[in-house]
Amino acid sequence: MRLLAVTVSLGAALLVMTTAPSYAAGGDAIFKKSCSNCHYTDGPAKEKTIADQLAKKGPELWYAGSKFKKDWLTAWLQAPKPIRPMKYNSITDKNPGDHPKMSAGDAAAVTDFLMGLKSAEVKAGVIKAEVSVRGRKIFTKDMPCGGCHEYSTKDGLLGGKSGPSLAGSSKRLNPDWIYAYLANIKVFKPVRDMPDFGSVLGPKDIENVAAFVATFE
């Protein structure tokens, strides 16, 4: 009986090893094959014109490890849902929501690869998600953030659709990255549609609004 159990589990282990080659392949190799046509992963940003930006259909991922929360990334790669309500870099077409889906094994391997891509511009562990009166006022009244970005409130989704949706930022985005992006957007997006707020808002206000964006459910 005992011998049989050992044989069966050994067989099962061999079966796992031979039927899951995706665990063996590195996330960087999978990415190169299936994803690199549409995403830049080499940084810092070299795009100088909108044509450079549009040479890749998807957003640049060279700072993915500073931008995303790891658990969100693994889950999204297996079940992607639109983030940009309009077709990427366009305000005319609706996002078709047809992003490639990955298996759990490939998503885990590619997540490990992408989380290793960091930007030195992002200081870790400084900004904490927080609803402050000041942060809310900057986002909803003083600055036109809500005109371009969808965001969540207790009364449901509000806001515009020309920028990426910020609903779900609490699960998706690293608060320190939101701060760095607002403070020095040129590092991440030399060519872009979003205005540069680094010269409009002081560091304390950027901290407040970044902390507020990081709370959206």
**If binding is defined by CB under 6 A, does position 95 make contact with ligand HEC?**
yes
**If binding is defined by CB under 6 A, does position 195 make contact with ligand HEC?**
yes
Nearer to ligand HEC, 1 or 85 (CB): 85
On whether the CB atoms of residues 177 and 63 are closer than 8 A, the answer is: yes
Instruction: Write down how long the chain is.
Output: 217
| The binder of ligand HEC chosen from 58, 168, 190, 198 (CB under 6 A) | 58
What span, in angstroms and rounded, lies between the C-alpha atoms of 13 and 10?
A: 5
Q: Within 122-141, which residues bind ligand HEC (CB under 6 A)?
A: 139
| The binder of ligand HEC chosen from 40, 43, 45, 59 (CB under 6 A) | 59
Neighbouring CB atoms inside 10 A of 95's CB total: 17
Closest CA to 84 of 71, 73, 98: 98
Single-letter amino acid code for the residue at 16:
V
**If binding is defined by CB under 6 A, does position 144 make contact with ligand HEC?**
yes
Q: Minimum Å distance from CB 163 to ligand HEC? A: 3
Residues with Cβ within 8 Å of 114's Cβ and at least 6 positions away in sequence, in order, are: 27, 31, 41, 61, 64, 65, 68, 73
178-207 burial: b if 16+ Cβ within 10 Å, else e: bbbbbbebebbbeeeeeeebbeebeeebbb
On whether the CB atoms of residues 187 and 215 are closer than 8 A, the answer is: no
**If binding is defined by CB under 6 A, does position 171 make contact with ligand HEC?**
no
**If binding is defined by CB under 6 A, does position 145 make contact with ligand HEC?**
yes
| The binder of ligand HEC chosen from 129, 143, 168, 190 (CB under 6 A) | 143
**If binding is defined by CB under 6 A, does position 168 make contact with ligand HEC?**
no
Which among 4-12, 28-36, 117-125, 129-137 is the span making contact with ligand HEC, rule CB under 6 A?
Answer: 28-36
Neighbouring CB atoms inside 10 A of 17's CB total: 11
**If binding is defined by CB under 6 A, does position 162 make contact with ligand HEC?**
yes
Nearer to ligand HEC, 11 or 195 (CB): 195
Residue ranges that bind ligand HEC, judged by CB under 6 A: 31, 34-35, 37-39, 57-59, 61, 73, 77, 82-84, 88, 95, 99-100, 102, 110, 139, 143-145, 147-149, 162-164, 178, 181-182, 189, 192-195, 197, 209, 213
